[in-house]
Amino acid sequence: MSLSDRSCITGIGETAYTRNSTRSAFQLQIEASLKAIADAGLSPRAIDGVIPIGIVSGTADDFIENFGIPDLRFSAVIPHGGASPVMALQAAAAAIAAGICHHVLITFGRNISAMAGNNKAGARIHNMPQFHYVTEFEHPMGASAPAQLYAPMARRHMALYGTTVEHFGEVAVACRAHAILNGNALMTKPITLEDHRASRMIADPFRLLDCSLESDGGAAVVVSSAQAALDARHRRVFISGVAAGHPDSPGSITQRPDITSLGIAKAAPRAFAMAGVTHDDIDVAEIYDCFTYAVIRQIEDMGFCKRGEGGPFVSGGRLRLGGALPTNTHGGLLSQAHVWGLNHVVELTRQLRGDGGAAQVADAEVGLVTGYGDLGDGALAILRRE
Amino acid sequence: MNDIAARPPQLPTDLSRPFWEAALEGRLVLQQCANCGVLRHYPRLLCSHCHSEAVSWREASRRGRIHSWTVAHHPFHPSFRAEVPYTLVTIDLEEGPRTLGRWVGDTPVLGEPVLGRFERRDDGVDLVFERA
């Protein structure tokens, strides 16, 4: 039984993305969830499946209690960081196709500013069990944060394939240009390739403008059965293909046979085959952008170009609106906000509904969204509008 | 913020304790499957080739080659504030597995041969590499 086109994203919701929010992570998560449920035209009590992303705020039980859900039939925990939202689409589509439930809420909320003493990435990840190798063997020597852990991947890619600072800059500039059009983005000042190059070094080769934001906010989507989606408020946006994949040695980049390989390389052929589309059919892409380099590598590993050609591929404005592969039309994690990439799922849905506003890709019919978690876990979904 | 923040601790587990005990003596040891002989690092419960739990420890040469590197400029943990910028290297050990280490020297080049040693620090050891 294929999951293709058996379910639809019927509701999307986001809070304002800010820094120093005075609302708790759970308040932000609930606000985004209620918006997504209302957007789908549902009562909160109609939710019969819930996947809280990362359990950094509410649990499934919290949603039963607060929404008064009479019969929650499905819940799941997906422990793969920023790959979790797209992996949650897979879990929701599977649960719905199996007839377990009808409306799955996928929801995230975070208030980093309120995480006293533990609010920086370099400290935060070490509370997550999937980072235990890093915590024991790398953190004590000073490889603490994702920027420091991913930098050797990027350095090797540069050495092997000639990828350049300008290639990274192209990704940063494209995301910023799109964020400016969004209306709910943290970063609103235009940047150039020169600004990117001049930004301070964080972990060579990553500069400040290669790194994603730290932000407070919530995002949520509702996935419904294709049948139930007929009664929703918006045009149906189908989950046509979805797949997940993990790199070898997922718990340690250092020990990975090929440190430049990502889990999405295994997932991409499955998702394209399930959706029955080719790369040329993708009108718009929302690609997990924890770092600029991660966008370049995912583009290669998904087969948009060959390995090593991702740098030239992203050059010349190809990722910009009007380019061949408009990417991160909301600004992404680099320039809109960091809510583990659930904002990427929201934005792709908006694009396929035709509600992309100033950043709308003309006649967008088929789009792709990726997730990238922890040290290289990957997932992608191909969505299609009716 | 504490000016003399402690470094993140080296906390051995039941699985890794022999590694850390040897490191304090200046020796780099790797897990070796006692059933099929395959080496592995970082320490884990099972041999992923034959799924045996039986393990012995083999001393490695500390020789290897540069696989990749980075220079940390921003201190993500307060204990490293006084040390930035510092260079981290990913090393292909002669024996097969990799390790991360600190680097002493100018900009590393992929593939160049290196030799490592353990250096004592307040609460443990750092694995430090330089050109062989």
**What pairs with residue A372 in β-bridges?**
A378
Is A342 a residue whose pLDDT tops 90?
yes
Residue A272 near residue A241 (C-beta atoms within 8 A):
yes
Q: Does A127 touch chain B (CB under 8 A)?
A: no
Is A141 at the interface with chain B, CB within 8 A?
yes
pLDDT of B2: 46
Judging contacts by C-beta atoms under 8 Å, the chain A residues touching residue B13 are 136
pLDDT of residue B43: 97
With CB atoms and an 8 Å threshold, state whether B74 touches A203. Answer: yes
> What's the DSSP call for residue A291?
B
A145 touches chain B (CB under 8 A): yes
Is the pLDDT confidence value at A63 over 50? yes
User: CATH topology for A7-114+213-385?
Assistant: Peroxisomal Thiolase; Chain A, domain 1 (3.40.47)
* Least confident window among A115-124, A184-193, A217-226, A290-299: A115-124
Size of interface A-B (CB pairs under 8 A): 99
Beta bridge partners of B94: none
Q: Is B88 on the interface with A (CB under 8 A)?
A: yes
Contact A239/B at CB under 8 A:
no
CB–CB contact A135 B100 (8 Å) = no
Beta bridge partners of B117: B128
- Give first-to-last CA distance, chain B, whole Å: 39
pLDDT of residue A113: 82
Which residue type, as a one-letter code, is found at position A283?
D
The angle formed by the CA atoms of residues B35, A249 and A382, to the nearest 5 degrees, is 140
Q: What are the structure tokens assigned to A311, written together?
A: 């740098």
Check pLDDT > 70 for residue A363.
yes
Span A200-246, pLDDT tens digits: 999 999 999 999 999 999 999 999 999 999 999 999 999 999 999 99
d(CA A232, CA A121): 39
The predicted pLDDT at position B3 comes to: 53
Question: Which chain A residue has the Cα nearest residue B81?
Answer: A142
Q: Is the pTM of this model over 0.90?
A: yes
Neighbours of A270 (CB within 10 A): 15
**Minimum distance, in Å, between the CA of residue B86 and any CA atom of chain A:** 9
Q: Is the bond into A372 cis (omega within 30 degrees of 0)?
A: no
**Inter-chain touch A142–B77, beta carbons under 8 Å:** yes
Across the interface, whether the CB atoms of A133 and B124 are under 8 A apart is answered no
Copy the structure tokens of residue A122: 């370099």
Look at residue A129 in the predicted model and tell me its pLDDT.
85
Tokens representing B89 are: 């290297």
- If one counts every other C-beta atom within 10 angstroms of the C-beta of residue B132, the result is 12
Element (H, E) at B22: helix B17-24
pLDDT of residue A122: 72
CA distances for A160 relative to A262, B37, B48, angstroms: 16, 32, 29
Among residues A353, A49, A61, the alpha carbon closest in space to that of A224 is found at A49
pLDDT per position as a tens digit, B11-25: 999 999 999 999 999
- The SS3 assignment for A368 reads strand
- Give the best residue of A119, A131, A136 to mutate against chain B (max B CB count within 10 A): A136
B100 touching chain A per CB within 8 A: yes
> Do A202 and B74 count as a contact with CB atoms less than 8 A apart?
yes
**In degrees rounded to 5, what are phi and psi of residue A220?**
-155, 150
Structure tokens belonging to residue A52: 């809280």
Q: What is the mean pLDDT of chain A?
A: 96
Rounded to whole angstroms, how far apart are CA atoms A11 and A35? 8
A77-104 pLDDT, tens digit per residue, is 999 999 999 999 999 999 999 999 999 9
pLDDT (0 to 100) of residue A112 = 87
Yes or no, beta carbons of A143 and B97 under 8 Å apart: no
Determine the distance in angstroms separating the CA of B43 from the nearest CA of chain A, rounded to an integer.
9
Render pLDDT for A263-279 as a digit per residue (tens, 0 to 9). 999 999 999 999 999 99
- CB of B20 within 8 Å of a chain A CB? The answer is no
What's the rounded Cα separation, in Å, for the pair B130 and B132?
6
| Domain spans in chain B, listed from the N-terminal domain onward | 13-59, 61-132
What type of residue is A355? D
Separation CA A149–CA A152 (nearest Å): 7
Greater model confidence, A218 or A112: A218
Residues with Cβ within 8 Å of B97's Cβ and at least 6 positions away in sequence, in order, are: A255, B30, B39, B40, B41
Residues B58 and B39: beta-carbon distance below 8 Å: yes
pLDDT at A5 over 80: yes
Which residues of chain B have a CB within 8 Å of the CB of A163?
A: none
Q: Which CATH architecture has domain B61-132?
A: Beta Barrel (2.40)
Q: Do B124 and A139 touch (CB under 8 A)?
A: no
Distances (CA, A) of A44 to A27, A217, A244: 15, 20, 29
Mutation for B interface: A126, A135, A141, most B CBs within 10 A:
A141
Q: What residue ranges do the domains of chain A occupy? A: 7-114+213-385
Q: What is the DSSP letter of B51?
A: -
The interface residues of chain A toward chain B in range 165-224, judged by CB-CB distance below 8 A, are: 200-205
Q: How far is B81 from chain A (nearest CA, A)?
A: 10
% of chain A exceeding 90 in pLDDT: 93
What does residue A52 show for φ and ψ, rounded to 5 degrees? -75, 125
> Which position has the token pair 């307060």?
B78
Give residue A119's pLDDT: 63
Residue B95 three-state SS: coil
Token duo for residue A103: 């409306």
Q: Flag if A123 and B77 touch (Cβ within 8 Å).
A: yes
Give yes or no for residue A110 having a pLDDT over 70. yes
Q: Per DSSP, which regions of B15-112 are E strands?
A: 29-33, 39-40, 55-59, 63-72, 86-93, 98-103
| pLDDT over 70, % of chain A | 99
pLDDT > 80? residue A1: no
Cβ A259–B68 below 8 Å, yes or no?
A: yes
The answer to ipTM > 0.85 is yes
Q: How far apart are CA A295 and CA A37, in angstroms?
A: 31
Model confidence pLDDT, tens digit, residues A147-179: 999 999 999 999 999 999 999 999 999 999 999
One-letter amino acid of A213: L
Q: Do A145 and B76 touch (CB under 8 A)?
A: yes
Q: What is the pLDDT of residue B1?
A: 44
Q: Would you call A252 an interface residue with chain B, using a CB distance cutoff of 8 Å?
A: yes
**Closest B-chain CA to A120:** B76
- What is the DSSP secondary-structure string of A299-327? HHHTTSS-TT-HHHHHTTTTTSTTSSS-B
A75 touches chain B (CB under 8 A): no
Q: Measure the CA dihedral B6/B10/B11/B12, to 10°.
A: -160
Does residue A369 sit in helix, strand or coil?
Answer: strand
Would you state the pLDDT for residue A138? Answer: 96
> Which residues are CB-neighbours of A164 under 8 A, at least 6 positions away?
A158, A311
Tell whether B68 is within 8 A of chain A (Cβ): yes
